[in-house]
Amino acid sequence: MNATPSPPAPFPAGEGSQSPSPPAPLPAGVGSEALIELREVTKVYGQGPAEFQALRGVNLRIDPGEFVAIMGPSGSGKSTAMNILGCLDSPTSGAYLFRGLHVERLSRNQRALLRRYYLGFVFQGFNLLARTTALENVELPLLYRGEPRAARHARAREALDAVGLGQWEQHTPAELSGGQQQRVAIARAIVTHPTILLADEPTGNLDRHSAEQVFELMLELNRDLGTSFVVVTHDSGLAARMDAVWRLADGVLVKESC
């Protein structure tokens, strides 16, 4: 695949005097700066007697090109942390920095642009449109960006080739195996050339062989494209092959020493 194209300026200037001037667009590869940092992030759900603290002062650092696992038992806060990293939810307190930019100070629109241009998502359940071909599924994020049809087709084909499914572009999800469907979902996530891909149990629904193939594909994309990955997994065998493993327990995140 080609190098990451320069995204358009997602962050318009003139955000108000309190905000730092956000880079527009975010600069590519800014030295030793972390790609992502969470500083003392908390998340509280509900109020009063129903209040529940899902994250308790989480600190996390992900460097450019890093491939990290987040592990933890059910209810430990993994989805909450992923939703915050994916700008789908906001922390109750604390800071989220993306390449040094304070995400919590961005407007809703700017966060949407950050999601669209810099983040990719892969879920356990694939989330493909059923009566839609692999090619059209992969094109979808580009359609949301308003890219012209010919460019969409070309880039979607390139992404399907990258996941080894070039021959399957006209097939619908029902005609594909679980492993192939997840590879289509990965193609859809990388078609925008994201800086980081957030994957919530991407191999959770797959048999061992397909899980291994999907994992190998993610490693390859990490190596070849430099895409960073955060992968929630219960599979300690896979996690052991990543650059770093972070463990969540009752809303507290700790980095395992490798």
Residue 195 lies near ligand ADP (rule: CB under 6 A): no
Taking alpha carbons only, the member of 103, 24, 29 closest to residue 64 is 29
Nearest CB to ligand ADP, comparing residues 17 and 74: 74
By CB under 6 A, the residues from 158 to 177 that bind ligand ADP are none
Choose the stretch contacting ligand ADP; rule: CB under 6 A; options: 30-38, 75-83, 103-111, 143-151.
75-83
Residue 6 lies near ligand ADP (rule: CB under 6 A): no
Residue 249 lies near ligand ADP (rule: CB under 6 A): no
Structure tokens at 3: 């190098």
Nearest CB to ligand ADP, comparing residues 13 and 51: 51
Nearest CB to ligand ADP, comparing residues 4 and 53: 53
What burial letters (b/e) apply to 140-173, b meaning 16+ CB within 10 Å? Answer: bbbeeeebeeeebbebbbbbbebbebeebbebbb
Please identify which residue in 38, 54, 85, 253 interacts with ligand ADP, judged by CB under 6 A: 54
Residue 168: how many CA atoms within 13 Å on its side-chain side?
Answer: 22
Taking alpha carbons only, the member of 133, 119, 99 closest to residue 189 is 119
Residue 80 lies near ligand ADP (rule: CB under 6 A): yes
Please identify which residue in 20, 29, 33, 52 interacts with ligand ADP, judged by CB under 6 A: 52
Nearest CB to ligand ADP, comparing residues 160 and 248: 248
Structure tokens at 109: 């629109």
Please identify which residue in 77, 173, 179, 194 interacts with ligand ADP, judged by CB under 6 A: 77
3-class state of residue 39 by DSSP:
strand
3-class state of residue 24 by DSSP:
coil
What are phi and psi for residue 242, nearest 5 degrees?
Answer: -95, 170
Q: What's the min distance (Å) between Cβ of 50 and ligand ADP?
A: 8
Residue 124 lies near ligand ADP (rule: CB under 6 A): no
Please identify which residue in 18, 74, 150, 257 interacts with ligand ADP, judged by CB under 6 A: 74
- Opening angle at CA 170, ends 168 and 176, nearest 5: 50
Q: What is the 3-state secondary structure (H, E, C) of 81-150?
A: HHHHHCCCCCCCEEEEEECCEEHHHCCHHHHHHHHHHHEEEEECCCCCCCCCCHHHHHHHHHHHCCCCHH
Which amino acid, 81?
A: A
Q: What's the min distance (Å) between Cβ of 112 and ligand ADP?
A: 21
Q: How many residues bind ligand ADP (CB under 6 A)?
A: 12
Choose the stretch contacting ligand ADP; rule: CB under 6 A; options: 30-38, 45-53, 57-65, 189-197.
45-53
Q: Which residues bind ligand ADP (CB under 6 A)?
A: 45-46, 52, 54, 72, 74-80
